[in-house]
Chain A
Amino acid sequence: MDSVTPFIVLSAILFTIGAVGVLTRRNAIVVFMCVELMLNASNLALVAFAKQHGNLDGQIAAFFVMVVAAAEVVVGLAIIMTIFRTRRSASVDDASLLKY
């Protein structure tokens, strides 16, 4: 077993937990945290592969993901706040008016 394999396995586990969380949880905040978990799982994978290949490409990509995630958190939390203010609910299933 290579030295990076445990990191990849961990990354996969984290990603799966995040994905299952996104699909099963109704609370928008929790869904949001699960999304963050998936992003960090992918960051871990990127960094692990960067170490395996011996260059910095993956690490730089991880920084980009972090920056995008931070920006996304700002916008996402603001939307969740606004929805909660108008509907008194943070359930993603309640915000289902935009449909066919």
Chain B
Amino acid sequence: MFALHEGGHVPVVDPTAADGVFSLAWLVIALPLAGAAILLVGGAIAPKRFAAFGHVLGTLLPIGSFAISLAMFLSLLGRDEGDRQVVQHVYDWIDVGGLHVGMDLLYDPLTALFLLLITGVGSLIHVYSIGYMAHDPRRVRFFGYLNLFVAAMLTLVMAENYLGLFLGWEGVGLASYLLIGFWQHKHSAAAAAKKAFVINRVGDMGLSAAIMLAFATWGSTSFTVISANADGASEKTMTALGLLLLLGACGKSAQVPLQAWLLDAMEGPTPVSALIHAATMVTAGVYLITRSNFVFERAPDAQTVVVIVATVTLLWGAVIGCAKDDIKKALAGSTMSQIGYMMLGAGLGVAGYAFAIFHLLTHGFFKANMFLGAGSVMHGMDDDVNMRHYGALRAMMPVTFLTFAMGYLAIIGFPGFSGFWSKDKIIEVALAENWVVGACALLGAGITGFYMTRLMLMTFFGEKRWAKDVHPHESPAVMTYPLIVLAALSVLGGLMLAGGWIQDFLSPVVGEEVEHDPPIPALAVTGLAVLIVAVGVTIAIMLVGRRDVPREAPQDVSFVTRAARADVYGDAINDELVVKPGRALTGGLLVFDRSVVDGLFSGGALTVGGVGALVRRAQNGFVRSYALSLLGGVLLVVLALLAVNLA
């Protein structure tokens, strides 16, 4: 159906032992992990004492990880291109029978970029949380969970084998559950946490099955071993492996059909949304596919499925983003869509891996920026999330407005901003590989322009629509400084593309950039993308900016809007396809158990009891009747013996 690329060549993972600054790699994970342990245990034992300094400790530790990551990154840059893969053996983790798994940490260009993103943006989110959660009585615990989240994500991207990756993968799932449901007194938050956990479990099943398949095929889960012996496996095995990995990636990265948890995950405190959506968690799926490039390059069918899933998701999320009045949910729809772009890049193979990671990084900057900006707006608006109650906030919150505007210009792909470069590259590659996919990506860019402009206009422009007792104000400096840093990164993130730096830097992991002949010149693609975005922005200005925004959402809306408000019926589909048949199955099993299984057992018991009640009449207490039965028995035996002997 899709004429995708020829299988490209990817390099094998061949790391050298860690020395120098790289021997500190384990500390990157250990610092936030220690923070989580100290804050969660200490906060439970001596809450008052820890409340005084818990947030400072919880922030300094990820910053420490960032410092080490930065030192390792600089040291890596100093090495030859062929020598940029380092492995550190921390300890023997599992050594049972034929299964030998070491707690090995792999540090290569891909991991290096992820470490910088996770610890860098993660640290900024920690700083911001000091202000955002200032009035929460459980702030120490919150920081403990945040540290746990960061530590798990770092384990995920640093592990040298699938099992270690799985450990981090599950840790991220656990931490996200704890954080989404942090305000557990709210029923909706508790339900959202459960939903995220359960849907992620479906994906995790895929990943664990993939690990088993990998172990069955190669007898190892190490990236080094698998990538070196990847040619030994049949294409069927590789396709199965690729599809299972994709299932795992769909769960964590909220790709269709496992996307339904992402919008509900907005129930968590806003810094959590920023952490989940920008630096960690949802990027894990893209990382998994990029890291497993040695599998996907040998399974073109699986790659095609990745591309289809990604294309559907990028449109699905964009449509949702258009109709949401909740500022965080609109941004969540946008995240889904942008992750779709990254998956698209990763699904396109060697031509796209580097750009997927590039978009992941720039998205990490501008989406963290915008989520934290949304949190800042909510902070000033008494935690109201409904954009219909906003309006004209640009004068009240100048810093939030300006930083948010940088994120906005970046995500719609305004020329020169980071998102412009990264999204443009993915669209370009997609168009070169397959024009249908490319056209969908272009359409998605247009819709992005529409929904982000709508969000911007409803929040910062137009008439005031606040309730009377709300007094919007700018957030404290501890919240605005992270915004300023992230805004600067949103603007300048595109520099990573300068001179093809990021492709060259990532080439030891994902292979050399392949030359492709686009059907239309790259410059024309860029022009077309900008034009389509401009159309989207213009439509938004005509529909939202030129009219009054009613405080209540109008109900007489088109079918498309209704569908988008209902998350394109994601929950309804899950209900019909999974929940209801599941309920029917359990109900049926219950009836079967009660009638057939229980019936068999109690029926058997009743039969034995009934027969016993009849037969015990023989025990009548009269010795002579016993004697008679004895005699009768003896006669029978004798007759039987005679019959046998005479016969």
Contacts and interface: CB of A to CB of B under 8 A. Distances in A.
B482 to A, nearest CB: 87
Contacts of B623: 31, 92, 95-96
Contacts of B621: 95-100
A57 interface: no
Interface string B606-626: 000000000011011111100
A48 interface: no
B631 interface: yes
Contact of A100 (B619, B624, B627, B628): B619
Interface in B596-645: 616-617, 619-624, 627-628, 631
Contacts of A72: none
Contacts of A95: 621, 623
A23 B624 contact: yes
Interface in A42-100: 92-93, 95-100
A90 B258 CA distance: 88
Nearest to A22: B627
A97 B617 CA distance: 14
B620 A93 contact: no
Nearest to B619: A100
Nearest to A98: B621
Nearest to B635: A19
A57 to B, nearest CB: 20
Nearest to A92: B623
B622 A93 contact: yes
A50 to B, nearest CB: 21
B619 A99 contact: yes
Contacts of A97: 621
Contacts of B620: 96, 99-100
B616 A100 contact: yes
**Chain B contact patch, size range:** 10 to 19
Contacts of A23: 624, 627-628, 631
Contacts of B622: 92-93, 96
Interface in A31-47: 31
A100 B622 CA distance: 11
Nearest to A25: B624
Contacts of B619: 99-100
B631 A19 contact: yes
Nearest to B613: A100
B637 to A, nearest CB: 15
B52 to A, nearest CB: 80
A95 to B, nearest CB: 7
Contacts of B616: 100
Nearest to A99: B621
A83 to B, nearest CB: 11
Contact of B624 (A93, A98, A99): A93
Contacts of B624: 22-24, 26, 31, 92-93
Interface string A8-32: 0000000000010011101000010
Contacts of B617: 100
A41 B616 CA distance: 34
Interface in B403-433: none
A92 B627 CA distance: 12
A26 B623 CA distance: 10
B638 to A, nearest CB: 12
A16 to B, nearest CB: 11
Contacts of A92: 622-624
A41 B533 CA distance: 119
B626 to A, nearest CB: 10
B617 to A, nearest CB: 6
Nearest to A95: B623
Nearest to A24: B624
**Max chain A Cβ within 10 angstroms of own Cβ: one of B619, B622, B624:** B624
A55 B512 CA distance: 107
Given A19-B631, A92-B624, 15 more contacts: A22-B624, A23-B627, A23-B631, A24-B624, A31-B623, A92-B622, A92-B623, A96-B620, A96-B621, A96-B622, A96-B623, A97-B621, A98-B621, A99-B620, A100-B621
30 contacts: A19-B631, A22-B624, A22-B627, A23-B624, A23-B627, A23-B628, A23-B631, A24-B624, A26-B624, A31-B623, A31-B624, A92-B622, A92-B623, A92-B624, A93-B622, A93-B624, A95-B621, A95-B623, A96-B620, A96-B621, A96-B622, A96-B623, A97-B621, A98-B621, A99-B620, A99-B621, A100-B616, A100-B617, A100-B619, A100-B621
Leading 8 A-B pairs by shortest Cβ distance: A99-B621, A96-B621, A100-B616, A100-B619, A92-B623, A96-B622, A99-B620, A22-B627
Interface of B: 616-617, 619-624, 627-628, 631
